[in-house]
Amino acid sequence: MERLDKRIAAASQYSRREVKELIRLGRVTVDGVRTASAEQKVAETAAIAVDGQSLTYEPYLYILLHKPAGVLTATEDRTAPTVLDLIPAPWRRKDLSPVGRLDKDTEGLLLLTDDGTLNHRLTSPRHHVDKVYYARVEAPLEEGDVAAFAAGIPLKDFTCLPARLEILSPQECRVTVQEGKFHQVRRMLAARGKPVAYLKRLTMGPLSLDDALAPGDSRKLTREEVKALQNAVGL
């Protein structure tokens, strides 16, 4: 059982305050009956509607964010804005967290969810989930870089798993990795003498960055997108 206003806020973009006003105006029904109490306890199976439009209960939330540069991949920070600050307030659930990390200066696709099992599997190298990045570098790329990535780049503290480097132009490339260690793509390219000038994540497994999302914008995943991610990691 859960409070009605909390349930509606979690299933929509209404804030708790807006939900209370909708209820006061008689625009909310529970199992076909108009309700007057935001504090009413409702079961998971309750049929809730606002202005006659049914709301679907979602046990987990899955959000696609176009992360801009200059924002931390964190849930809170005292000195800098975080990705959670960009999410609409009604979606900021207690356990909502990023799936993997993008460093402060990297932009692009970031998934946030409170589904801990999916989060763990998507970030574990054991499940072989590809993450694809676009990079611009400060020195010309060479075929030797492609071979080095395929062999696994040795860094100071670990050796990267084999990765794919696709040269798009002398100073542009796509990098595909299955790990997500701190600054990994930047460090791999720097190890080859190719410092990164710009980095953007394009995909995670079957999920691609939505071209309609401007930096800082977000949306919920579709059911089809969630199912594709679950299938990709054996859920």
Catalytic residues: 103
Burial class (CB in 10 A: 0-12, 13-18, 19+), 216: middle
How many C-alpha atoms does 207 have within 13 Å on its Cβ side? 31
